[in-house]
Amino acid sequence: MDNVVPAGSTATSSTSTSTLGHLALGLTLLAFGVGHTGVIDNVTAADASAVATWVGGVALFIAGLLEFRAGSAGTGTAFAGLGAFWFTWGTGVGTEVSAEAAGLFLLLWALLALTLTVASAGSGLFVQGVYGLLTVTLLLLGIASFAENGGLAKAGGWVGAVAGLAAWYGATAALAKWPAFPRRAAGRGVTATG
């Protein structure tokens, strides 16, 4: 019996992997963001470390490898890169580092998020919006860490939570076949694409 699995880079398998990746990213961002806001008593960003390590790190990295295999270099890069970020962050929680080192870590990863934002220009508003909000989240948290400013960290947490909700909604809409945006009436000579 042949144990080799064919690559089978169909649009359906890539779409499924992409949806799974966006769900993983959304849930991780939501947990990470809410933890930074302080909106729930006794819940901090550090409490999201297990979600970040396993869902945001391992699952997202594997989704990235599957996207590469399906021929989607952009989504593969996004998921694998973000998987590496979440795994590194999740396993590093509790490690004693200076505020400056933590700020630098977040700002360096904000560069990846910025790259993903720019590179996803043709991927749709949800995808580009999620990466854009992630960029803002990491910038705010990085600057907050350098400045040791709790208010700025909470603002970054709120932006991260919104990014997580957007990623979750986009993936859920894809699975449920909901429209990503309400359809608008098309004017003369304009087509409504949804």
| pLDDT score, position 180 | 62
Those residues whose C-beta lies under 8 Å from the C-beta of residue 63, and which sit 6 or more positions away, are 17, 18, 20, 21, 24, 79, 83
Contact between 36 and 160 under an 8 Å Cβ cutoff? The reply is yes
pTM of the model: 0.83
| pLDDT score, position 9 | 40
Q: What tokens appear for 190 in the block? A: 């304009």
Q: Tens place of pLDDT for every residue, the chain, 194 residues?
A: 334 334 444 445 567 888 999 999 999 999 999 999 989 999 988 999 989 999 999 999 999 999 999 999 999 999 999 999 999 999 998 888 899 999 999 999 999 999 999 999 988 888 999 999 999 999 999 999 999 999 999 999 999 999 999 999 999 998 998 876 544 444 444 334 44
Q: In angstroms, rounded to a whole number, what is the distance separating the alpha carbons of residues 150 and 54?
A: 27
Instruction: Map out the domains of the chain with their CATH numbers.
Output: 13-176 (1.25.40)
| pLDDT score, position 94 | 83
Q: In angstroms, rounded to a whole number, what is the distance separating the alpha carbons of residues 23 and 82?
A: 13
| pLDDT score, position 13 | 56
